[in-house]
Structure 1
Amino acid sequence: MGDPGAGHAAPAPLQEIASRISDLSKWREIFSSCGLELNSTTHQPGPSRAGPGAPGAGESPGSQPPSTVPRPLRLPQGTGGCPISPDTAMRLQQLLFGSTAPLFSCEWAAARFRFHPPRSHLAYALQAGQGGTRAILAAVQAHIITFLLFTRETECTHLERLRRLGHREQGQALATALAETLWAAGGGGRAVVCLVTAPVTTMPCEGCRASSFTERIWLFEFSEKAAAQEFISDHINCFKGEGSHGVILFLYSLLFSRTLERVQEDLGDAAPLLNISSGNITCTEVMMMMMMMMMMVTIISKMALAARHCHKLGAGHGLHGRLPVCPVRAGRFPQAVLSLLLTGRASPRQLGGGGGGREPEPGAGHGGGGEAACPRGCVGFLRWERARRQRQVSPALRTPRLPVWLCSLSGRHSVLFGTDSRLLSDWKAERIFHLYFYSGQQEQTQTARLTIDTHSHHWEEAQREGPCSPGRRRPALEMAIRTKWPGATVSWSGTDPFF
């Protein structure tokens, strides 16, 4: 029967292991609350997490931490596709971050295409994320609005087209928007859809850290847009389900549709595609977490000392005991990704600006370096920065074929649109008209309605005023609208301007 004492020796190591796991869980909760991420591949049960079905199926909200590996998709026989190769996975990471280490943060891992409740004021709208993911969601949102307002056949008119959406219509609109964007990235001849499959298909190359996500990717290539759209529609939960990593999957699909080689050519010397200031850095080692906590304790201690110092000097210097504020400027989302989403090419110059170069000379064109001019698409782009000097968006993007614009307002992304398809093709429609605005902010519960008057002279009278003029203090959205319609006045229809 064996040594009788053996049965009493085992519990001690097991108790020690259980205690360490418990301590690790506590640290995981602490760092998760700080927006940091532990490596999800280190302490996961493995097979018990990988059940059949689409990502998010049968799960209650919040049942799966955002940093976990997405639930795998079990594809039927004969579906096709091919696994990502180790070399391709490494080149993908290198293109994204300039490094082979996976650097997506918790906010990226949690990001997915999630709509507001169906048949509500914002039934058409995606719930926006934070940081870099918000720009991608806003760009897809613009394509969704284009489909719902100007492509989909329905008896509903104007905003009713957007409000009377059920779950099925929301999925259809999302599948169409994703397929349109991927097809444009593929040059109108191909689209590649990335999904996560059950087994780990490849092992990471030497020097390339395993993420347990990229190594599970399968690539499905389509030579017809309708087939790609149908495939996405059949697997729409892979992009919108909880724990699906839907935004990352779409970004991968976008890059493979364009091909990694062409994206690299588009970027030129501007690589990598993403950067730390866009919210793409993540801590994956426990030691890094400990260092971060130590840094936080040090900062808090210094702030406490500074507070006492400020309290002593407050009467003489007007500080009134307040803590010194360290301004943190949010990183701008890379223009190359915005260009890929809007034009199908990952070139910042397509938006009318370059990667840090000077402003193009008048009449010099918009491509630069022999690049073709940006064609007019269905979705446009408007930008406004509260800076003394900013590059002008190309005329083709300011005047798209349909009145739908992705807006970049001081680095925050939103959508502006009209319901009249003739607005940009009939000058008579541009006298007085309405535009609608969705910011993606949680506080917004209804679509904002703006009235634009292009024949008012109120703005022209203040042209020569200084930097502190009323025009300089106007909302960023109004200033962006005036980059398209100079001299226009904007009325918020009784709503207080909020962007």
Structure 2
Amino acid sequence: MCVCVPQRLVDVGKVEEQEEHPPPCRTLPNLCPIPLNLVVSPDLGGTPVTPQLTESLRKILLGGTFHVFNYEWRKSFFQFREPDSEVSYALKTDSGGAQAIQMVIQARIIKHLLFLRQSASDGQTLHSLTVGQKEQNGALATVLADSLWLAGQESEATVTLVTQEYSITPHLDYKLDNFTERLQLFTFNAKEDVEKFILDHIQCFTEEGSHGVILFLYSLICSRTVNRLKEDLDSTTSHLLYLRVGNFVCRQALLNLLLTGKASPNVFNGTRSLGEDGHPLEHPLQGLLSRGDVGYLHWSREQMEGGRLPQVGSMLKTPRYPVWICCINSSFSVLFGLKRSLLSDWRMEHRFHLFYFSGQSCQGTTTQLTVDTHPHHWEAPVRRSEENRSLEMTIRTKWDGAAIDWTGYRGVNP
């Protein structure tokens, strides 16, 4: 089987041109085909995708029907580290645009294992994150189902899987990707049914060649519905992914959809009707209206130097559980605490532990940090690596002026 993929870009300056005028695709044999054991029977009871939906999915995600997911996206799926190991809770992540989605799911897995299992209680230990393969699959199914259920306004959710048969015949204004055209939609009105269905077909999200991340992304869009998504967005955002150096990466609206169930394009609280100059905006800007289970912190050296660091609102900085997605210099990682009382008892915020997981394959243990929000001014600064300084700056966007002790860091040259 042959599939068409867009030519990868090597010149950053050509990104905008690529988005408006995609170049001719080149055909590569056997490029990430879906194995037969990962497709479902058309008799399973799903609804075949329609031409209108395939076009809508492409437009709301990629910005047009001529764009297709590239190789990096198509090969991405949800794969855990070694079961029963110290980082058995952790997903293996990709270096491309799919990393953001994998890391949000990673944060939700940590939240589930620490706080929502039957054995969970305030004051867990890292041992709570050590799980076997069965628990890994169960946690992933639960988290994927929770995300879809939240996007569906907690009333219904849709799971998309792939069949061997094509449901539509593309026209001249549509680029075939040999994947979207074979979708089957399964809609449920009870969250436990969504979770059971995903668990029964967990291999469609966790095995090589499954296109598992894209499948989940399509499921998320179908659960939210394209019409609701258009209502969520404002004049600054028309689709959820954008091209950067030849690869599609997530806009903030997609991250917020994963975090809160609504694709708000901005990180501030509420709706802004006035611009920076104090004059009314022609179209109000949509921010966060509700707090999510998992939070979000952002820091970028480039934006900091340019004075344009976005002001993340309390809806994202203070989630229901002490787990945060960190966007640091456009790379994603997870920061979390073991005590939920960290978010409800101000006395807990004097001196506390946080744990950090970068998602990088070289990290074989969970990094422990001690955060002191009342540091002494005479304490001498300590030299840090560039990566660790960036993490410290990210932590200070929530706990201003905090000192970070890397004593628990199991590595070299913090």
Give the TM-score range, shorter chain: 0.7 to 0.9
- Residues in 1 aligned to 2:413 and 2:41: alpha-carbon distance in whole angstroms: 46
Counterpart of 1:148 (choices 113, 124, 130) is 113
Give the whole-Å Cα distance in 1 for the aligned partners of 2:271 and 2:100. 19
Aligned counterparts of 1:150 and 1:454: Cα–Cα separation in 2: 25
Cα displacement (A) at 1:272: 2.5
Q: Distance in 2 between matches of 1:372 and 1:125?
A: 30
Equivalent of 2:39 in 68, 73, 77: 73
**Matched-pair contact (CA < 8 Å) for 2:151–2:223:** yes
Question: 1:103 Cα deviation (Å)?
Answer: 2.2
Partner of 1:346: 263
Which of the two has greater strand per residue? 2
Distance 1:142 1:416 in 2: 8
Q: Aligned residue for 1:168?
A: 134
CA contact (8 A) 1:454 1:487 kept: yes
SS of 1:401's equivalent in the other structure is coil
Q: For residue 377 of structure 2, what is the aligned residue in structure 1?
A: 458
Does 1:483 find its partner at 2:400?
A: no
**1:237 Cα shift?**
0.7
Q: What are the superposed Cα offsets for residues 258-311 of structure 1, whole Å, 9 maximum, x if unpaired?
A: 101121222233113211117546xxxxxxxxxxxxxxxxxxxxxxxxxxxxxx
Q: 1:113 aligned to 2:28?
A: no
2:234 counterpart of 1:234: no
Q: 1:103 aligns with which of 59, 64, 68?
A: 68
- In structure 2, the residue matched to 1:419 is 338
CA contact 2:68–2:177 (8 Å) conserved in 1 = no
Paired residues, number:
382
| 1:254 equivalenced with 2:220 (yes/no) | yes
Compute the displacement of 1:372 (Å): 6.9
- Residue 407 of structure 1 aligns to a residue whose secondary structure is strand
Preserved contact between residue 75 and residue 209 of structure 2 (Cα < 8 Å): yes
Say whether 1:276 aligns with 2:243: yes
Report how far residue 155 of structure 1 moved. Answer: 7.9
* Structure 2 equivalent of residue 337 of structure 1: 254
Distance 1:260 1:223 in 2: 18
**Distance (whole Å) between structure 2 residues aligned to residue 432 and residue 172 of structure 1:** 34
| Corresponding letter in the other structure for 2:128 | R
Using the alignment, how far apart are the partners of 1:237 and 1:422 within structure 2? 36
Q: Is contact 1:350-1:374 (8 Å) kept?
A: no
Residue of 134, 144, 168 corresponding to 2:99: 134
> For residues 353-401 of structure 1, what are the alpha-carbon distances to aligned partners after superposition, in whole Å with 9 as ceiling and x for unaligned?
999x96698xx9xxx9275743222100011111232111111211111
Tell whether the 8 Å contact from 1:132 to 1:279 is kept in structure 2 after alignment.
no
Q: What is the CA-CA distance between 1:38 and the residue it aligns to?
A: 4.9
Q: 1:472 to 1:87 in 2, by over 3 A?
A: closer
Shift of 1:209: 1.6
CA contact (8 A) 1:90 1:205 kept: no
Alignment partner, residue 382 of structure 1: 297
Contact 1:203 1:210 in 2 (8 A): no
1:198–1:417 Cα change, 3 Å: same
C-alpha distance in 1, partners of 2:61/2:333?
24
Q: Deviations over 1:392-436 (max 9, x none)?
A: 111121111110000000110000001111111111211211110
In structure 1, distance between residues paired with 2:378 and 2:291: 28
Give, as a single letter, the amino acid of the residue that structure 2 aligns with 1:385.
S
C-alpha separation in 1, matches of 2:133 and 2:231: 40
Offset of residue 456 of structure 1: 1.1
SS of alignment partner, residue 241 of structure 2: coil
Contact between 2:42 and 2:165, CA under 8 Å: does it hold in 1? Answer: no
Q: Which amino acid aligns with 2:266?
A: R
Moved more, 231-240 or 471-480: 471-480
What is the Cα deviation at residue 132 of structure 1? 0.9
Contact 1:459-1:489 at 8 Å conserved across structures: no
Query: Equivalent residue for 1:327?
Result: none
The answer to whether the 8 Å contact 2:240/2:250 transfers is no
| Residues 1:91 and 1:142: Cα distance change in structure 2 (over 3 Å) | same
Task: Give the match for residue 328 of structure 2.
Answer: 409
Q: What residue in structure 1 maps to residue 167 of structure 2?
A: 201
Please state how far the C-alpha of 1:333 moved relative to its aligned partner: 3.5
The yes-or-no answer on 1:433 pairing with 2:400 is: no
Percent identity among equivalent residues?
A: 43
Structure with max Cα Rg: 1
Q: CA deviation at 1:471?
A: 12
Query: Take 2:258 and 2:346, find their aligned partners in 1: how far apart are those partners?
Result: 28
2:384–2:413 Cα contact (<8 Å) kept = no
Does the Cα contact within 8 Å between 2:370 and 2:405 map onto a contact in 1? yes
Give per-residue Cα distances to partners, 1:310-341, cap 9 Å, x unaligned: xxxxxxxxxxxxxxxxxxxxxx6411111111
Verify: 1:492 aligned to 2:388, yes or no: no
Contact 2:271 2:285 in 1 (8 A): no
Trace 1:3-82 onto structure 2 (pairs within 5 A): 38-39=26-27, 67-69=32-34, 71=36, 72-75=38-41, 77=43, 79-82=44-47
Give the counterpart letter for 2:104 in structure 1. A
Give the drift of 1:472.
10
Secondary structure in 2 aligned to 1:369? strand
Q: Do structure 1's residue 179 and structure 2's residue 145 form an aligned pair?
A: yes
Structure 1 residue 206: deviation in Å?
3.4
